Amino acid sequence: MKRSKIMRRGILLTALAVIVPLGMTLAAGWMLSIYAAHDRLQTLAAIANDRASQTFAQASQALKSIAVTDLEPCSPQGIEQMRMIAINTFSVETVGYEEDVFACTSWGATPPRSKQWAEDFVTDDGVKVSIDAQDDNELIKPMLALQFAAFNVLVDPEQFREVVLDEGVRLAVGTRQGRLLGPADPNMASFLALVHEGPTHGLKDGFLYTLVAQGNFTVIAAIPRQELLRSLGQHVLYLLPIGLVISVGLVIASLRWWRRKLSPLAALERAVQRQEFVVHYQPIIEIETRRCIGAEALIRWRKPNGTLVYPDVFIPLAESSGLIEAITDQVVHRVFADLGAMLASDRSLHVALNLAAADVSSGRLIPALLNESRRLDVQPAQIWLEVTERSLVDLTSAKITLERARSAGFVVALDDFGTGYSSLQYLQQLPLDVLKIDRSFVEQISEAEEKTLLVTHVIQMGHALRLTLVAEGVETPAQLNFLGANQVRYAQGWLFAKAMECAQFQQLYLDGRPCIDARILQDPIVS
Ligand SMILES: Nc1nc2c(ncn2[C@@H]2O[C@@H]3COP(=O)(O)O[C@H]4[C@@H](O)[C@H](n5cnc6c(=O)[nH]c(N)nc65)O[C@@H]4COP(=O)(O)O[C@H]3[C@H]2O)c(=O)[nH]1
């Protein structure tokens, strides 16, 4: 992933880490507000429905009791009885009788009504109910009238709504057909008509409502959305600390992700996944002929922006993180792809590969190298395996791997010799073919005899162990002359060539000419 992409993803993740928990806190607060409000409305609506049913039952009972009277209707005794019932029945305002031209109420004789009350519904036991009953003079407010036989009772609709309400709550009591009882509240009347058939609760037209339809009545308890928002604030306040803790946790996690993705290790992991490594080849020269006879494969990491990173920068990280084995595999694959055909057609050419400590101690590379060599018809002797003193940490397993490599035919070289603590005794224990003299010794070669003492000693040690010697980091003709005079067989260094791309190396090799102009070597050989 590119740095800019990581930055974009990191910003997105951090923003989500803040937005999601806080959004969820808000959503949870909203749900809790709705749940609590719904609970409250449900209780209120159920109480109001009970209250309406009781009021109705009371009035209905009073009506039935007067309807079975033996007294003459509208006689003084009959009117007295009607009055007593009106006084003793809490919900009943007036008791009336009406038959053709003959009518009276609990207040006395009265002319018959000029028009009949519109009938809204009839109960199972035959009571006719009109919810908007008015006398002819419209002196009293509309009443709820119950009629049975020729008798009627009038009930104040307010009686059906006598429930203590919480602040902001609206209550509507209506018939099962959706007609509102009591003084016209245009909002609630139309709302009742809208929802009386269900569902039993929900958010509609800016109200959260609950509907209880039982017996003869439908009751709706509702609160406006603004009320709900007020209680949302309280619930969010309770939940906010939890949301903030989660948010902070997620922000920390996303920052960690960010840091990890931008870390050198993450960059190296991506490089391995995307196979961003290339191999350059530094020619190895036979000192006697000055001709190129092989190359050392040196890895470079080519970043997506084209910059080349040198192995000293990333190999230590690859080794400590365990990525090195995957990197070695990619190098091996690349080298065989680059030079396999050339190695197969020219047996005198060789290529040296650098192995890391993990490759040496596991030994898993040897079968893979053998397979590749067989597949491309490369002789194992054309493959040099360079190990450093540092890579021989586990001496026992290293010896096993090196033995296996040599018996398979590969050439084993000790790289950077002299930079560690290796002694002659240590060298004797190792199954080696080649000793590479480190650049730090080669650069000491000068005309001052005491300075060349150390390198002379290393060369002698190599000869004593019958190892092929390769000098690294040869930069001057004087160094080359000295090495040649001391029977060092091969050399590599900037005097001949720096590491180069495969095509360039192949051209140089096939050219077959001495890699250095003879005139440069006119200096007398220092020995
Ligand atoms: N000043 C100077 N330097 C010269 C001269 N001639 C060659 N060099 C540099 O010396 C290093 C020689 O490689 P090395 O000792 O195996 O040292 C290598 C090797 O230990 C390691 N390395 C390189 N490729 C791989 C690889 O594929 N796998 C592993 N595990 N390590 C690798 O990285 C080290 C550094 O490699 P490079 O940076 O390519 O550096 C190379 C090369 O470019 C010279 O005349 N003067």
Over residues 135-145, the pLDDT tens digits come to 776 657 889 99
Q: Is the CB of 491 under 6 A from ligand 1?
A: no
Q: What is the pLDDT of residue 139?
A: 58
Task: Identify which has the larger pLDDT, 194 or 527.
Answer: 194
Q: Does 331 contact ligand 1 (Cβ within 6 A)?
A: yes
473 lines ligand 1 (CB under 6 A): yes
Q: Whose CA is nearest to atom 1 of ligand 1?
A: 473
| Lowest-pLDDT range of 275-289, 320-334, 426-440 | 426-440
Sheet with 217-224, strands from edge to edge, namely 170-175, 217-224, 207-214, 201-204
What number of helices (H) and strands (E) belong to the chain?
15, 20
> How are the residues of the chain apportioned to helix, strand and coil, as percentages rounded to the nearest 5?
50, 20, 30
**Mean pLDDT, range 361-385, rounded to an integer:** 95
CA atoms of 143 and 94, how far apart (whole Å):
10
Distance of CA 299 from the midpoint of ligand 1 (Å): 8
Q: Average of pLDDT values for 124-128?
A: 93
**Is there an atom of ligand 1 within 6 Å of 354 CB?**
yes
Q: Does residue 299 line the site of ligand 1, with CB under 6 A? A: yes
pLDDT for 104: 92
> Would you say residue 313 has pLDDT above 50?
yes
Closest CA to 56 of 129, 107, 120, 118: 129
Q: Distance from the CA of 283 to the center of ligand 1, in angstroms?
A: 12
Residue 356 Cβ inside 6 Å of ligand 1? The answer reads yes
What phi, psi does 404 have (nearest 5°)? Answer: -60, -40
pLDDT at 323 over 60: yes
pLDDT at 526: 40
In the reported structure, the alpha carbon of residue 298 is separated from the centroid of ligand 1 by a whole-number distance in angstroms of: 6
Q: Does position 222 have pLDDT exceeding 70, yes or no? A: yes
Distance 371 CA to ligand 1 centre (A): 26
What strand order describes the sheet that includes 151-155?
108-109, 102-105, 92-99, 151-155, 143-148, 128-133, 121-122
Q: Which residue has the tokens 């057909």?
A: 177
Contact between residue 282 and residue 495 where contact means Cβ atoms under 8 Å apart: no
Answer yes or no: is the C-beta of 330 below 6 A from any ligand 1 atom.
no
What does the pLDDT read at residue 138? 61
- Among 282, 298, 327, name the best residue to mutate to test ligand 1's pocket (greatest count of ligand atoms within 8 A of Cβ): 298
What's the pLDDT score for residue 524? Answer: 44
Residue 447's pLDDT band (cuts 50, 70, 90) = low
- Whether 227 is in the pocket of ligand 1, judged by its Cβ within 6 Å, is no
The pLDDT confidence band at residue 525, using thresholds 50, 70 and 90, is: very low
Least confident of 33-42, 46-55, 101-110: 101-110
Q: How far apart are CA 60 and CA 509, in angstroms?
A: 118
One-letter amino acid for residue 20 of the chain = V
In order, the DSSP letters of 156-205 are -GGGGG-----TT-EEEEEETTSPBPSS--HHHHHHHHHHTTS-SEEEET
Atom number in ligand 1 closest to CA 492: 6
Structure tokens at 70: 């033996």
Helices (H), 2-75: 3-67
422 band by pLDDT with thresholds 50, 70 and 90:
low
- Mean pLDDT across the stretch 246-250? 95
Distance CA 431, CA 236 (A): 74
pLDDT at residue 2 tops 80: no
**Percentage above 90 pLDDT, the chain:** 59
Choice among 52-66, 257-271, 443-457 with the minimum mean pLDDT: 443-457
Q: Tell me which of 58-67, 311-320, 386-395, 417-426 is least confident.
A: 417-426
Task: State whether the beta carbon of 359 lies less than 6 angstroms from ligand 1.
Answer: no
> Which of helix, strand or coil describes residue 417?
strand
**Nearest CA residue ID for atom 4, ligand 1:** 473
> Which amino acid residue places its CA nearest to atom 46 of ligand 1?
473
Which atom belonging to ligand 1 lies closest to the Cα atom of 438? Answer: 15
Atom nearest to 324 CA in ligand 1: 30
For ligand 1, what atom is nearest to the CA of residue 353? 27
- The residue ranking higher by pLDDT, 395 or 380, is 380
**Distance between CA atoms of 384 and 54, rounded to whole angstroms?**
104
Give the mean model confidence (pLDDT) for residues 63-89: 91
- With a cut of 80, say whether residue 426 has pLDDT above it: no
Q: How far is the CA of 448 from the centre of ligand 1 (A)?
A: 28
The reply to whether ligand 1 has any atom less than 6 angstroms from the CB of 416 is yes
pLDDT digits (tens, 9 = 90+) for 461-502: 999 999 999 999 999 999 999 999 999 999 999 999 999 999
Is 216 within 8 Å of 130 (Cβ atoms)? no
Half-sphere exposure of 451 (CA within 13 A, CB side): 12
Residue 506's Cβ-side half-sphere holds a number of Cα atoms within 13 Å equal to: 12
Q: How far is the CA of 282 from the centre of ligand 1 (A)?
A: 9
Q: Which amino acid belongs to residue 482? A: F
Task: Fill in the DSSP letter of residue 112.
Answer: P
Q: How buried is residue 367: exposed, middle or buried, by Cβ count under 10 Å (0-12/13-18/19+)?
A: exposed
The amino acid at residue 315 is I
State the Cα–Cα distance between residues 245 and 405, nearest whole angstrom: 58
Q: Give which of 212, 239, 190, 216 is closest to 38, Cα–Cα.
A: 212
Q: Which is the closest atom of ligand 1 to the Cα of 416?
A: 15
pLDDT of residue 58: 94
Expressed in angstroms and rounded, the spacing between residue 358 Cα and the centre of ligand 1 is 18
- The answer to whether the CB of 298 is under 6 A from ligand 1 is yes
Q: Please name which of 386, 339, 259, 300 lies closest in space to residue 3, comparing C-alpha atoms.
A: 259
Q: Work out the percent of the chain whose per-residue pLDDT is above 70.
A: 94
Measured CA to CA, the distance from residue 18 to residue 84 in angstroms comes to 72
Distance CA 436, CA 411 (A): 13
pLDDT for res 184: 57
Q: Count Cα neighbours of 354 within 13 Å in the Cβ-side half-sphere.
A: 23
Query: Higher pLDDT residue, 416 or 511?
Result: 511
**Ligand 1 mutation target, pool 315, 392, 438, 476, most atoms within 8 A of CB:** 315
Tell me which residue has tokens 């000491």.
444
Across the chain, mean pLDDT equals 89
Q: Which of 46-60, 69-83, 441-455 has the lowest mean pLDDT?
A: 441-455
Distance CA 293, CA 233 (A): 82
Contact assessment for residue 373 and residue 367, using Cβ atoms and an 8 Å cutoff: no
For ligand 1, say whether the CB of 431 is within 6 Å of any of its atoms: no
Q: With a 6 A CB cut-off, is 202 part of the ligand 1 pocket?
A: no
* 346 phi/psi in degrees, rounded to 5: -135, 100
pTM of structure: 0.64
Q: Beta-carbon neighbour count of residue 378 at 10 Å?
A: 24
Question: pLDDT for 146-185, tens place per residue?
Answer: 999 899 999 998 888 777 777 788 888 998 888 888 765 6
Pick the atom of ligand 1 nearest to 355's CA. 30
- To 10 degrees, what angle do helices 264-273 and 311-321 make? 90
Partners of residue 255 on adjacent β-strands: none
Q: Is 326 in contact with 272 (CB distance < 8 Å)? A: yes
Query: Is residue 435 within 8 Å of residue 406, measured between CB atoms?
Result: no
- What separation, in Å, do the N-terminal and C-terminal C-alpha atoms of the chain show? 55
Ligand 1 atom nearest to CA at 331: 27
Residue type, 285: I
ipTM of the complex: 0.95
pLDDT value of position 520: 59
Find out whether the beta carbon of 475 lies less than 6 Å from any atom of ligand 1: yes
For residue 260, is pLDDT > 50?
yes
| Substitution site in 268, 325, 472, 498 for ligand 1 pocket (most atoms within 8 Å of beta carbon) | 472
> What are 411's strand-pairing partners?
384
User: Could you tell me if 103 and 96 are in contact, meaning their C-beta atoms sit under 8 angstroms apart?
Assistant: yes
| Contact 310 CB / ligand 1 (< 6 Å) | yes
User: Which segments within 76-142 are labelled E, that is strand?
Assistant: 92-99, 102-105, 108-109, 121-122, 128-133
C-beta neighbour count of 354 within 10 angstroms:
21
Q: How confident is the model at residue 1 (pLDDT cuts 50, 70, 90)?
A: low
Cα distances (Å, whole numbers) of residue 366 to 68, 201, 387, 388, 496? 114, 75, 13, 17, 31
